[in-house]
Amino acid sequence: MSDVKLDDRMPVLVGCGQNVQKEKDVEKAKSPMHLMADAAEAAAADTGLGKKLWDVVDTVTCVRFITDSPDSARLPFGRYPNAAKTLSNLIGANPAKTCYGPTGGNTPQYLVNYTAEQIAQGETDIALVAGSECFATMMRALGQGKVLDWHDENPGQDRIDIGNEKAGVTETEKRHKLQYPVNIYPMFENAIRGQQGRTVEEHKLAVGKLMAPFTKVAAQHPQAWFPVERTPEEIATVTDANRYIGFPYTKYMNAIMQVDQAAAVVMMSVGKARELGIPQEKWVFLHGCGDANDLWFPTERVNYYTSPAIKKMGEKAFGMAGWDISQIDYIDLYSCFPSAVQIGRDALGIAEDDPRELTVTGGLPYFGGAGNNYVMHSIATMMDKLRAKPGTKGLCTSNGWYVTKHGMGLYSTLPKEGKWEREAPATYQAEIDAEKHPVVDETPNGKAKIETYTVVHGRDGPDFAIVFGRLDDTDARFVAHTPNDPATLKDMVERDQLGRPGTVVADPEGVNIFTPE
């Protein structure tokens, strides 16, 4: 690397740190802010500078807490009005800029892409990007009726908000309970099954085979929440311990949010890395990146088994790097639910029988789905793997809302020559937004058929069913529930519903009802 002439403004990742907390006593457990501070200190130590880094860092950016996201309950034990400044105070930094990212599982990669661009353009020299969640401790404390000291009401310094906050669903979609990921991702899965032409049982086992390797990776990761290897049959088979959540997903197919995890990365310009004496074997380059959104609201999608945004974003990121998918050694596809993995895999041209593992962490259902911050763990883990085998190449994808917002990063210890610049995402977003898609009828009436569906389960069995359907006369798409009687719900679990005819009746102020024939 020392023989390669590098632009002083070239962005590099030079430090990473991550941790997990499994303290059962909520009064001994660290707050999400203190856990994040530990990850930040680990990232600083990884650069070789340790606490000296905090004397020179000019930007601290935090991933948004899940409790600050729209439609989420506020943090029950106080607030962090400027999380990045609170973090800075804890670690002894005094940055000129303290920033907060937007909602979404895509946020860590989005922030890395954004920060790289800021460094390349001379707006930032040295940045810490960090995030954490202590959802497990929070829920345990609430269950025990305990109040924890998690707050910093007056951290000082106004924060800079990066990105835009926009609700992920329409009011009609919200009335039909589509704002909950556990309700909508199974609908993508049934659409994928239909596109694949599989029976319900065939597809469940195929999903088990897809996700079993993730459990093997999680079992070997020191920060994994569930380091347990499982067989495809264990994942796919419904048992008392592995009940349905949203049909066809069993519990072992769902992201687990009740975790305590934190991760952080340090980024800076090549010029600053040289000036500070950070060894070049620590440097990881962002060779290509992209950010894109699918058609924003779920009812507007082109279909429920492809992602035009991931496909386009992949083309742009690989074009920027000058690589192709066959050259990638390590992959981490966003994995909140199996449908997200399959849609991402197919959009990037990865074959179903590709022997490469699709995760470096173990994924959100097994490693842990730390709110908006999971991908910070995949990036940190990717850095460790690339450094261990210099010259290898890695791919991380990220996903926010409901296969809605996407980010991608292509990484390597190989130097990226020339000037670092990327195509503005807005230039290709317009092409994605122009994709032909169904008209949505929010007050549907008449004969119709099911496009895809799920049956939402509670601990005692099926609770209600949601369908995306198409009207026979106009082919417009709608969302509805079915009648809530046990016989209908039982039938919808036991018998394939894709393409099933019926009649839909609108309720403009409530829930549309689709009655199967």
| Helix orientation angle between 338-347 and 200-219, rounded to the nearest 10 degrees | 90
Burial class (CB in 10 A: 0-12, 13-18, 19+), 372: buried
Q: How does pLDDT run across 108-125, given as a tens digit for each residue?
A: 999 999 999 999 999 999
Please compute the mean of the pLDDT values over residues 155-174 and round it to a whole number: 95
At residue 508, the pLDDT reads 78
Residue type at 515?
T
Topology match between the domains 11-169+257-433 and 446-516: no
Residue type at 187?
M
CA dist 176 and 183 (Å) reads 10
Residue 408 in tokens: 């991608």
Burial class (CB in 10 A: 0-12, 13-18, 19+), 228: middle
Closest CA to 304 of 151, 187, 196: 187
Which string of DSSP letters, residue by residue, matches 230-279? Answer: --HHHHHS--SSS-EEETTEEGGGS-----EEEEEEEEEEHHHHHHTT--
Q: How does pLDDT run across 284-322, given as a tens digit for each residue?
A: 999 999 999 999 999 999 999 999 999 999 999 999 999
The 10 Å Cβ neighbour count of residue 389 is: 11
Q: How far is CA 391 from CA 60, 103, 122, 412, in A?
A: 29, 33, 27, 6
The 10 Å Cβ neighbour count of residue 9 is: 17
Q: pTM for this structure?
A: 0.97
At residue 76, the pLDDT reads 84
Q: Residue 2 above 70 pLDDT?
A: no
The domains of the chain are located at 11-169+257-433, 179-253, 446-516
Element (H, E) at 331: strand 330-332
Query: Edge-to-edge strands of the sheet including 405-412?
Result: 160-161, 97-100, 59-62, 126-134, 260-269, 11-20, 284-293, 405-412, 393-400, 330-332
CA dist 135 and 251 (Å) reads 18
Confidence of residue 73 (pLDDT cuts 50, 70, 90): low
What percentage of the chain carries pLDDT values higher than 70? 99
Contact 398, 108 (CB under 8 A): yes
At residue 266, the pLDDT reads 99
Contact 325, 349 (CB under 8 A): yes
Contact 116, 289 (CB under 8 A): yes
CATH of domain 446-516: 2.40.50
CA dist 182 and 459 (Å) reads 14
At residue 280, the pLDDT reads 96
Taking each continuous run of H as one helix and of E as one strand, the counts in the chain are 14, 17
Which string of DSSP letters, residue by residue, matches 125-184? Answer: SEEEEEEEEEHHHHHHHHHHT-------S---S--EE-S----SS-HHHHHTTTTSHHHH
The 10 Å Cβ neighbour count of residue 226 is: 17
The 10 Å Cβ neighbour count of residue 201 is: 10
Q: Which positions ≥6 away from 72 have C-beta within 8 Å?
A: 66
Confidence of residue 3 (pLDDT cuts 50, 70, 90): low
Q: How does pLDDT run across 29-71, given as a tens digit for each residue?
A: 999 999 999 999 999 999 999 999 999 999 999 999 998 887 6
Angle 263-266-269 from CA coordinates, rounded to 5°? 160
Contact 487, 516 (CB under 8 A): no
Q: Mean pLDDT of all residues in the chain?
A: 96
Please compute the mean of the pLDDT values over residues 267-295 and round it to a whole number: 98
Max CA pair span of the chain: 72
- End-to-end CA, the chain: 67
At residue 169, the pLDDT reads 97
Q: Residue 341 above 90 pLDDT?
A: yes
Per-residue DSSP letter, 440: B
At residue 261, the pLDDT reads 98
At residue 435, the pLDDT reads 95
Beta bridge partners of 452: 468
Q: Residue 72 above 80 pLDDT?
A: no
Handedness of CA 250, 253, 256, 257 (dihedral sign): negative
Q: Which CATH number fits domain 11-169+257-433: 2.60.40.10, 3.10.50.30, 3.40.47.10, 3.20.20.140?
A: 3.40.47.10
Q: How does pLDDT run across 437-481, given as a tens digit for each residue?
A: 999 999 999 999 999 999 999 999 999 999 999 999 999 999 999
Q: How does pLDDT run across 196-243, given as a tens digit for each residue?
A: 999 999 999 999 999 999 999 999 999 999 999 999 999 999 999 999
